[in-house]
Structure 1
Amino acid sequence: MQAVLRRFTNSLPSFDLNDKISAAAAGFAVLVMLSTLGALSALREQRLFYDRLEALAAASRNIERANATIYAVVMESRGIYMSADRNVARRYADSLLAKLRQLTKIVEEWEALLPADDAATFAPFRQRIDQFVAFRTEMARRTISVGSSAARELGDNDENRAVRTALNEDLETLSQLYADRIRELGEAADARGMVAFYLGGLGLLIIVLIAAAALALRWGVLMPLLDIARVTDRIAAGRIKLKIPHARRHDEIGHVAHAVETYQDNVFRLQELEEHEIEIERQHAVILRQHERLEQGALSSQQRLDAAVANMAQGLIMLDSFCYVLMVNDQYRALYGLPASIARPGTHMRDILAHRARQGLLREKPADFLASLRERIREGKPAISEFELGDGRIIRVCERPMDGGGWIATHEDFTTQRRNERILARAEYFLAALLENIPQAVVAKDAQSLRYVFVNHAAEKLFGLPRAQIIGRAARELFPEPTGELLESFDRAHLDEVGDETPKAHSIDTPGNGKRDVVVRRLPVTVGEGQPKYLLSIVEDHTQDQRAAA
């Protein structure tokens, strides 16, 4: 299932992740809107269904009540016909009037709830009810005022029976009408059941799509981000030569992977700079130890001390804990243009600083510089610092406390060294720019492991791989067999002085650029004396020339 989801995610068009998520959200919104509209429509239809069902049920009840009441009126009328006693007939007449009032109330309630469509059907029935009530009311009145014989004379005729028969037919017609409507309502209920089935299917489809979207989000977004995060943690832990996953994607995940790839390259360069800085600090430490040995040797003998101070290349000044000069050499005076009358033992440091300020060789105020010096003497911590004089020279100062109090410092003109470093940096930049822009592929390998330590832009194009995937790897790890093994065998033969230094033609299978015809010139690079440390290869791509000749 996971592999299927990954293939599905990779098969999607190369849209941005934001576009994919927005499209999925829009699709879900449309489905939810359709489901909501369907549910609201079904709810409205259900409400109408129950309203109609309740109206039909009420109409059916009214038919039954009216029919029962009419039957009771007829029975009371028969009681009047059959009563010989006038008092008994009056009781039947009173009961008959009560039943007629009840029948009138039932019909009025029925008519109040009657829809407009049934008014035409109900009108004849209401007219016959009115005739029936009027006739029976007159019968009861005559029974009460005259007697049962008068009521019998009024009611025992064909006209009365015809009204009664027509009334029964009206009730049967209305009953059949409501029965047909209940049947139609049942059929409509069955149809609404299908609608509910479709709505349930739509809801199930929404659930399935949400589950699929969640899985696609997990395997298409969350898991790739976790993979990139794990690689980033390993890079931060010190493993700076790793393959960055998902770097070939063209969406936001791919952008993140490219950013991590760039971060990895920067970490590699930063590590090189740190190693270079450590080497410089080691050299400084060696110089400091040499200074310490000189100082210790000088303190053992005044004569040796004077000789050392007079002949050392750096300017030296020694102060007591109150900043009075104990010793100063000529190199220090020459460095700052100080006359011997000012820079001599017993002079306070503020006089020397005041003279330097007048000469424009002190950027700070003398009082501020003296306060900072006293603070360093009080803390008693060795320090190395550099500062620039007003005339542009750069002075390197090494300070350290003396046993028993006091302070000693050496001042050295570091202008030439710093200028040479800047020249060297510009030369290195020029060389790197030159190598990056020549048309031939230039690669450098470690002479021991034969792993790539440098490739230029032309080499990236020739190999068909970015520089981050080449540096730190050997040819057998990059090129398909047997190209990688052959290239390493030629390299080792050249390093062992088995082969000559003439350019060699090879036909190689590159990792990402297919088969190429190249001419390689190999040059061992020796740092100092001894075995070669690097193997420099200049590769010319003659594929187009070979194909044109063919």
Structure 2
Amino acid sequence: MQELLRRFTKSLPSFSLNDKISAAAAAFAVLVALFTLGSLAALREQRLFHDRFEVLAASSRNIERANAAIYAVVMESRGIYMSPDRNAARRYADSQLVKLGQLTKIVEEWQELVTVDDASLFAPFKQRIDQFVTFRTEMARRTISVGSSAARELGDNDDNRAVRTALNEDLERLSRLYDDRMTELDAAADARGLVAFYLGGIGVLLVVLIAAAALALRRGVLMPLLDIARVTDRIASGRIKLTIPHARRHDEIGRVAHAVETFQNGVFRIQELEQHELQFEQQQADVLRERDRLEQGALSSQQRLDAAVANMAQALIMLDSFGYVLVVNEQYRELYGVPASIARPGAHVRDILAHRARLGLLREKPADFLAALRQRMKDGKPTTTEFELGDGRIIRVCERPMAGGGWIATHEDFTVQRRNERILARAEYFLAALLENIPQAVLAKDAQSLRYVFVNRAAETLFGLPRTEIIGRTPRELFSEPTGSILEEAAREQLAGRGDDEAQAHNIVTPGNGSRDIVVRRLPISIGEGEPKFLLSIIEDRTAAQRVAA
């Protein structure tokens, strides 16, 4: 710090007093402006953070409220199904209509908080909610006008259960989305702490610069003036063969020193001229060395930029505000089969689009595509889109504006990812269809609560109950004693690792199919490492075979 201060003080004589004062005032004004702008920006960010936090908190609460309301409606529907007479069913139907109204109000309030970024995810959820409300309202109406049998006939089907499952998935996706947004807010809060640190640093810098300016003015202005005054007094007393201090300065103080120096002889003038010439040569050499250093730095930076663009995994193209190519890499040329003579810096994007159209790799007319691109550049909003080329490839394009009106876009071949997603969806559909159509009863229980979370069609036939009356209940709640206790004890033994891995035979009394002789194979299911999350039971009904053998 002392060395920097010494160099700064030494360089002061090369500037005029006006320049020094103006530069100091400008520097202080810039720092004060930066500090003020930083403070205003921090205040604005704090307000935006608070608003986003309130929206996220309200949206998270709406997830819980909507889920609770949906569950309450489902419970009322079950009450309608299980009501022994019409009057009891009507009470459940009336309560269901009230809860449907509450659910509709919750979703309407929630929709007012949905941002543009979340609208595409919220729209299908809102549509399913509307389907759910319409369906349950019709169920309540039929219950009131006809009875629980009509409601059961309407509601006991796979379409109804599919809507409920889709609603659960939508709520889970929205919940994950809001969790991610909350994580982003935590990161933003950390960034604001860093901004506060920077603002404090600017404040400290202001204090240091004020002290440095005061010290520099004392050493660079006040002390030289006192030196010249003392020499002037000595010259006035008759001693003219003196070295005039600060005579080499080019500011007002230097001119005063030069005025005093006119009383000196030519020898001193010649010596001073020689010193000035040496200083000029030194400055010239310093300027040349600095220019060489800057040229080397600029060349090195350009080489690093070219290497980074050339080794990107994605295809990249950068345009100026008029549509001319600034940067394009080889990956872009290979992706669309465009030669380097067309896709090159300085070319217009219109020529590239025309070549792609000739190859059949552009579904739109080049003029229409260019007009849409100019509109996106005018809007200045980042976008991510996917489109399919004429050869079947799926391309993901991420576009962003640049400062000054330019545009940068990365293109990536997403064909393999999209094909894998379709293969996975078909595999999941096949597995669901397989479980529904195998003759054995397949059931899954939650490892903690032992409540049924999945049953197939064969399990419904075995128990003599629809799956809506099985899912969510434990064996003790579903079966009479001692069947419920036997099944729960066997399940807990298997989860604890004390059960037999072989199939076990039981005689159970089902809720709707009487006494059955079954053979059960129980398999604990883990997700990743750790304790089992589910218990899968595969049940074979051997009642008919046992009776034939008897």
1:45-96 CA distances to partner (integer Å, 9 max, x unpaired)? xxxxxxxxxxxxxxxxxxxxxxxxxxxxxxxxxxxxxxxxxxxxxxxxxxxx
Q: Mark the CA change 1:428 to 1:490 in structure 2 (over 3 Å): closer, same or farther.
A: same
1:153-199 CA distances to partner (integer Å, 9 max, x unpaired)? xxxxxxxxxxxxxxxxxxxxxxxxxxxxxxxxxxxxxxxxxxxxxxx
Correspondence list, 1:209-288, <5 A:
219=87, 225-230=93-98, 232-233=100-101, 251=146, 254-260=149-155, 262=157, 264-274=160-170
Q: Mark the CA change 1:333 to 1:283 in structure 2 (over 3 Å): closer, same or farther.
A: farther
TM-score (norm 1): 0.51
Report how far residue 277 of structure 1 moved: 5.4
Mapped partners of 1:254, 1:549: distance in 2: 40
1:385-406 CA distances to partner (integer Å, 9 max, x unpaired)? 1111111111111222234432
Report how far residue 234 of structure 1 moved: 6.8
Q: Mark the CA change 1:485 to 1:325 in structure 2 (over 3 Å): closer, same or farther.
A: farther
Q: Mark the CA change 1:248 to 1:454 in structure 2 (over 3 Å): closer, same or farther.
A: farther
Mapped partners of 2:521, 2:425: distance in 1: 28
Mapped partners of 1:375, 1:497: distance in 2: 65
Mapped partners of 1:456, 1:315: distance in 2: 48
8 Å CA contact retained: 2:319, 2:406:
yes
Q: Structure 2 unaligned segments of length 5 or more: list them.
A: 1-82, 108-128, 185-299
Report how far residue 467 of structure 1 moved: 1.8
Mapped partners of 1:317, 1:362: distance in 2: 16
Higher alpha-carbon deviation: 351-360 or 326-335: 326-335
Correspondence list, 1:100-111, <5 A:
none
Aligned residue for 1:327, secondary structure, equals strand
Aligned position for 2:267? none
Aligned position for 1:385? 385
Mapped partners of 2:510, 2:333: distance in 1: 66
Aligned residue for 1:522, secondary structure, equals strand
Mapped partners of 2:504, 2:496: distance in 1: 16
Mapped partners of 1:284, 1:350: distance in 2: 40
Report how far residue 246 of structure 1 moved: 10
Report how far residue 227 of structure 1 moved: 4.6
Percent identity (aligned)? 61
Aligned position for 2:436? 436
Mapped partners of 1:257, 1:419: distance in 2: 41
Aligned position for 2:332? 332
Mapped partners of 1:490, 1:511: distance in 2: 19
Report how far residue 303 of structure 1 moved: 5.1
Aligned residue for 2:400, secondary structure, equals strand
Correspondence list, 1:524-543, <5 A:
524-543=524-543
Report how far residue 365 of structure 1 moved: 0.8
RMSD: 3.9
TM-score (norm 2): 0.51
Mapped partners of 1:407, 1:548: distance in 2: 80
Aligned residue for 2:420, secondary structure, equals helix
Aligned position for 1:142? none
Mapped partners of 2:475, 2:512: distance in 1: 13
Q: Mark the CA change 1:384 to 1:446 in structure 2 (over 3 Å): closer, same or farther.
A: farther
Report how far residue 366 of structure 1 moved: 0.8
Mapped partners of 1:313, 1:413: distance in 2: 10
8 Å CA contact retained: 1:225, 1:253:
no
8 Å CA contact retained: 2:93, 2:141:
no
Mapped partners of 1:245, 1:348: distance in 2: 64
8 Å CA contact retained: 2:453, 2:471:
yes
Mapped partners of 2:172, 2:352: distance in 1: 38
Aligned residue for 1:439, secondary structure, equals coil
Matched, 1:510 2:406: no
Aligned position for 1:416? 416
8 Å CA contact retained: 1:464, 1:512:
yes
Q: Mark the CA change 1:305 to 1:476 in structure 2 (over 3 Å): closer, same or farther.
A: farther
Q: Mark the CA change 1:465 to 1:232 in structure 2 (over 3 Å): closer, same or farther.
A: farther
Mapped partners of 1:279, 1:335: distance in 2: 37
8 Å CA contact retained: 1:246, 1:254:
no
Q: Mark the CA change 1:494 to 1:413 in structure 2 (over 3 Å): closer, same or farther.
A: same
Correspondence list, 1:312-331, <5 A:
312-331=312-331
Report how far residue 254 of structure 1 moved: 3.5
Greater C-alpha radius of gyration: 1
Q: Mark the CA change 1:272 to 1:398 in structure 2 (over 3 Å): closer, same or farther.
A: farther
Report how far residue 458 of structure 1 moved: 0.2
8 Å CA contact retained: 2:140, 2:151:
no
8 Å CA contact retained: 2:93, 2:143:
no
Q: Mark the CA change 1:414 to 1:231 in structure 2 (over 3 Å): closer, same or farther.
A: same
Mapped partners of 1:304, 1:534: distance in 2: 54
Aligned position for 1:399? 399
Aligned residues: 322
1:290-342 CA distances to partner (integer Å, 9 max, x unpaired)? xxxxxxxxxx9655544443233221222222222222222211111111111
Report how far residue 436 of structure 1 moved: 0.9
